[in-house]
């Protein structure tokens, strides 16, 4: 037991004294004597009481406003003049107080809003004040753990299994240049790691033959792809320095609440060094995971580059070197997704994700072929191979429904997602369902979100979780088409969507920055922090209180389930998943879905 101390608690404030009341309770619980003065006393009156009480400590609290610094400095001067020091130690606390500010004002100690009441009591007892800093998870979590992937809705489940088996059987007989390059990449990296340079050269030459456009040109002539340049030695060294520093970095304690959730951000500034900084800053402010965003041309060009490249435009080039550089900024507990979903390099990207040590990937043949420009036949063949690779590498992946952004109704998008996810499960994989959690064009036209943004989003979550026991990770990002260029509005919309999704049973969410609706240039780091701060605040606000939809949600969910069933019935009746993509069963031209052309005619039957 410490020697009991006498503490005079003085709210140097017209009203606020709740912090001091809490400290009084903690002091008394630990056997100290605490005298709490009423609010709104002048500094002179507090000093006068201190001379009567002869306390060991005077703790004043103050919410900062105009002239506060002068007031607190005056209080310290008065204590000195009255001879209270050094017998009595002076402590200040308040919402805007920081330890260094207290020191500047002449106090012996200061406590800010992040300091628990126990810290002030520890100080009274002479214990060392440990600076209050945040922590971030040091170990990874498996977001798919505990999900059985069993269908609760047998009617829908049976149709999904039929359609999935058909698409797997169809793909089994076919191959593509994308699949061949994935094999070559694996062989090349293995040969490289064993120092077999001649083999590397031969494999590389074969690889180059089945590339296209500027990527092929780079392999053949060494001329860089437009708007890219190699990273400099200085940049490479700076990433190393950042990596060395990351173990000693501070994290804001105000963001620790996000440690209890799985909030992802997307990076892809174009430059791996900038991405490394964006990633570690986002992790510092509570992001549990980061998602690699690649350039759109990467999806439409056959082949991926090698070495480390910076790109002047949106999206960071996928190469093993670039991925390895960005990884240096991540913490041991950071979940890292390298997206492979939409283009001509899908299988190879899964291979690179595996080689770089990523935790997650993204595979979707429906969105990629109806909304992102890749030929459906090609993407189904490549997508199936990618799911096989992901299962082999134990890489979970999400199946996104961004075709909703084109205008495809949720029922069609969900039917496609469920079939693809079922195929993934049949191949031994662990897919996430990734519904769009946004103000989708369908909802805008149908008016299902005219009153609020809650009901239709919750209906989607209810439907999916009533169909199959699979992890749901909405995005990506949540809140699409609700954000504006105003950073406050944008941050609030992102935070509310994230809180709603997590409250509705999502295992994770991907959030945008407050620059989501700005198209004039790259996202800035402050814009990333904006939405992470807002999301933490929203989660703190709702806590376990939950968000309640209106009674409309059950009807919306019921209608959506019946519409999914209709689409699946049509799909199974057609008996050909790929043909269904071309013919519009999962989204037609009127919906805004257009079968892509990149890679058309490149699928071949496997040689027996």
Partner 1 sequence: MSARDRILDGCDLETFIVCDAVEEGKSLGLRLMAELGFDDADVVFCEMGGPGVRIRLRGYVYRPAAEYRWYDQEADSIE
Footprint of partner 1 on this chain (CB under 8 A)? 100, 134, 242, 245-246, 249-252, 254-255, 277, 280-281, 283-285, 524-526, 529
Q: How far is the CB of 14 from partner 1 (least distance, A)?
A: 20
Please identify, using beta-carbon distances, which residue of 486 and 566 lies nearer to partner 1.
Answer: 486
Shortest distance (Å) from residue 393 CB to partner 1: 30
Closer CB to partner 1, residue 44 or residue 240? Answer: 240
Residue 265's φ and ψ, nearest 5 degrees, are -120, 160
- Cα 460-461-465 angle, rounded to 5 deg: 120
Q: Helix or strand or coil: residue 398?
A: strand
CB contact set of 526 (below 8 Å; sequence gap of 6+): none
- Please, what is the minimum distance in Å from the beta carbon of residue 304 to partner 1? 29
d(CA 46, CA 37): 8
Residue 296 or 524: which CB sits closer to partner 1?
A: 524
Smallest separation (angstroms) from partner 1 to the CB of 271:
15
Q: How many whole angstroms separate alpha carbon 405 and alpha carbon 472?
A: 18
Nearer to partner 1, 331 or 458 (CB): 331
Q: Report the nearest approach of partner 1 to the CB of residue 313 (Å).
A: 22
d(C-alpha 227, C-alpha 19), whole Å: 56
**Least distance to partner 1 from the beta carbon of 336, Å?**
16
In the complex, minimum distance from the CB of residue 512 to partner 1, in angstroms, rounded to a whole number: 18
User: How far apart, in whole angstroms, are the C-alpha atoms of residue 208 and residue 200?
Assistant: 12
Supply the minimum distance, in Å, between the C-beta of residue 276 and partner 1: 9
The distance of closest approach from Cβ of residue 299 to partner 1 in the complex, given in angstroms and rounded to an integer, is 31
Place of tokens 């309770």: 25
CA dihedral angle for residue 315, residue 321, residue 327, residue 328, rounded to 10 degrees: -120
Beta bridge partners of 89: 57
Q: How far is the CB of 242 from partner 1 (least distance, A)?
A: 6
Nearest CA among 392, 403, 394, 314 for reference residue 364: 403
Neighbours of 467 (CB within 10 A): 22
Q: What's the CA angle centered on 343, arms 339 and 344, to 5 degrees?
A: 120
Q: Under a CB-based contact definition with an 8 Å cutoff, are residues 291 and 266 in contact?
A: yes
Give whichever of 34 and 527 is closer to partner 1, judged by the CB atom.
527
Q: Which is nearer to partner 1, 255 or 457 (CB)?
A: 255
Give whichever of 206 and 238 is closer to partner 1, judged by the CB atom.
Answer: 238
Q: How far is the CB of 139 from partner 1 (least distance, A)?
A: 19
| In the complex, minimum distance from the CB of residue 268 to partner 1, in angstroms, rounded to a whole number | 18
Residue with tokens 């990937």: 361
Nearer to partner 1, 281 or 598 (CB): 281
360 three-state secondary structure: strand
* Closest to partner 1 by CB, 211 or 329: 329
The DSSP letter of residue 15 is S
Cα separations in angstroms, 10 against 23, 38, 39, 125, 369: 11, 7, 7, 19, 68
Buried residues in 106-136 as b, exposed as e (16+ CB within 10 A): bbbbbbbeebebebbbbbbeeeeeeeeebeb
Q: How far is the CB of 529 from partner 1 (least distance, A)?
A: 5
CA-to-CA separations, 206 to 185, 187, 554, in angstroms, rounded: 11, 12, 56
Q: Which of residues 63 and 525 has its CB atom nearest to partner 1 in the complex? A: 525
Using the minimum distance from each CB to partner 1, give the nearer residue, 161 or 537: 537
Query: Quick one: 104 or 169, whose CB is closer to partner 1?
Result: 104
Whole-number Å distance between alpha carbons of 7 and 24: 9
**Residue among 64 and 210 whose Cβ is closer to partner 1:** 64
Q: Which two tokens stand for residue 265?
A: 């951000």
Name the CA radius of gyration of the chain, rounded.
29
Instruction: Count Cβ neighbours within 10 Å for each residue of 48-82 and write b for 16 or more, e otherwise.
Output: eebeeeebbbbbbbbbeeeebeebbeebbebbeee
For 290, list phi and psi in degrees, rounded to 5.
Answer: -130, 145
Closest separation in Å from C-beta 258 to partner 1: 12
How near is the Cβ of 217 to partner 1 at its closest, in Å? 37
Q: Are 263 and 535 in contact (CB under 8 A)?
A: yes
The token duo for 464 is 């999916």
Smaller CB separation from partner 1, 273 or 385: 273
Helix (H) or strand (E) holding 411: helix 410-426
| Residue 123 CB, nearest approach to partner 1 (Å) | 20
Planar angle of CA 253, 254, 258, nearest 5 degrees: 90
Nearer to partner 1, 184 or 284 (CB): 284
Whole-number Å distance between alpha carbons of 206 and 201: 9
Nearer to partner 1, 139 or 250 (CB): 250
The dihedral built from the CA positions of residue 579, 585, 590 and 596, taken in this order, carries a sign that is negative
């Amino acid at each position: 037991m410490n020697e009991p101390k006498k503490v005079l608690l003085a709210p140097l404030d017209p009203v606020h004294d709740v912090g001091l009341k809490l400290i009084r309770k903690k002091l008394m619980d630990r056997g100290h004597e605490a005298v709490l003065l009423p609010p709104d006393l002048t500094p002179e009156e507090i000093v006068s009481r201190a001379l009567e009480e002869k306390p060991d400590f005077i703790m004043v609290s103050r919410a900062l406003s105009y002239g506060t610094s002068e007031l607190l400095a005056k209080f310290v001067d008065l204590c000195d003049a009255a001879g209270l020091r050094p017998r009595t130690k002076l402590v200040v606390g308040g919402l805007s107080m920081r330890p260094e500010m207290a020191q500047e004002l002449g106090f012996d100690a200061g406590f800010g809003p992040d300091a628990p009441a126990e810290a002030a009591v520890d100080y009274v007892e002479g214990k060392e004040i440990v600076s209050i800093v945040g922590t971030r998870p040091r170990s990874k979590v498996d977001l798919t753990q505990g999900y059985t992937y069993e269908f609760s809705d047998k009617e829908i489940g049976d149709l999904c299994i039929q359609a999935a088996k058909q698409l797997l059987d169809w793909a089994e007989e076919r191959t593509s240049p994308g699949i061949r390059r994935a094999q070559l990449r694996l062989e090349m990296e293995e040969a490289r790691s064993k120092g077999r340079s001649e083999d590397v050269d031969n494999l590389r030459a074969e690889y180059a033959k089945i590339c296209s456009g500027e990527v092929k040109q780079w392999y053949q002539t060494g001329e860089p792809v437009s708007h890219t340049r190699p990273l400099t030695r200085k940049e490479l060294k700076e990433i190393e320095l950042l990596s060395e520093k990351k173990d000693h970095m501070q994290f804001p304690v105000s963001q620790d609440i996000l440690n209890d959730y799985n909030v992802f951000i997307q990076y892809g500034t174009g430059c791996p060094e900038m991405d490394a900084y964006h990633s570690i800053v986002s992790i510092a402010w509570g992001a549990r995971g980061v998602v690699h965003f690649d350039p759109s041309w990467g999806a439409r060009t056959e082949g991926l580059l090698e070495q480390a490249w910076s790109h002047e435009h949106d999206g960071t080039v996928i190469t093993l070197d670039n991925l390895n550089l960005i990884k240096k900024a991540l913490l041991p507990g950071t979940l890292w997704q390298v997206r492979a979903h939409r283009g001509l390099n899908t299988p190879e990207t899964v291979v690179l994700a595996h080689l770089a040590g990523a935790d997650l990937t993204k595979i979707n043949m429906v969105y990629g072929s109806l909304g992102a420009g890749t030929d459906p036949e090609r993407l189904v063949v490549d997508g199936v191979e990618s799911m096989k690779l992901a299962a082999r590498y134990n890489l979970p992946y999400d199946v996104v429904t961004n075709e909703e952004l084109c205008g495809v109704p949720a029922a069609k998008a969900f039917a496609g997602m469920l079939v693809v996810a079922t195929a993934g499960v049949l191949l031994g994989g662990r897919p996430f369902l990734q519904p769009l959690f946004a103000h989708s064009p369908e909802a805008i036209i149908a008016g299902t979100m005219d009153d609020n943004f809650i009901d239709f989003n919750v209906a989607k979550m209810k439907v999916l979780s009533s169909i199959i026991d699979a992890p749901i990770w909405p995005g990506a990002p949540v809140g699409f088409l609700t954000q504006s260029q105003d950073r406050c509005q944008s941050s609030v919309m992102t935070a509310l969507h994230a809180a709603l999704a997590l409250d509705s049973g999502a295992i994770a969410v991907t959030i945008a920055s407050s620059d989501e609706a700005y198209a004039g240039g790259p996202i800035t780091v402050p814009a990333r922090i904006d939405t992470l701060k807002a999301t933490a605040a929203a989660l703190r606000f709702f806590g376990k209180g939950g968000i309640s939809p209106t009674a409309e949600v059950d009807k919306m969910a019921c209608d959506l389930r019946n519409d999914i069933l209709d689409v699946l019935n049509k799909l199974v009746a057609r008996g050909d998943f790929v043909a269904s993509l071309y013919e519009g069963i999962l989204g037609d031209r009127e919906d805004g879905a257009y079968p892509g052309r990149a890679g058309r005619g490149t699928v071949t039957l496997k040689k027996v």
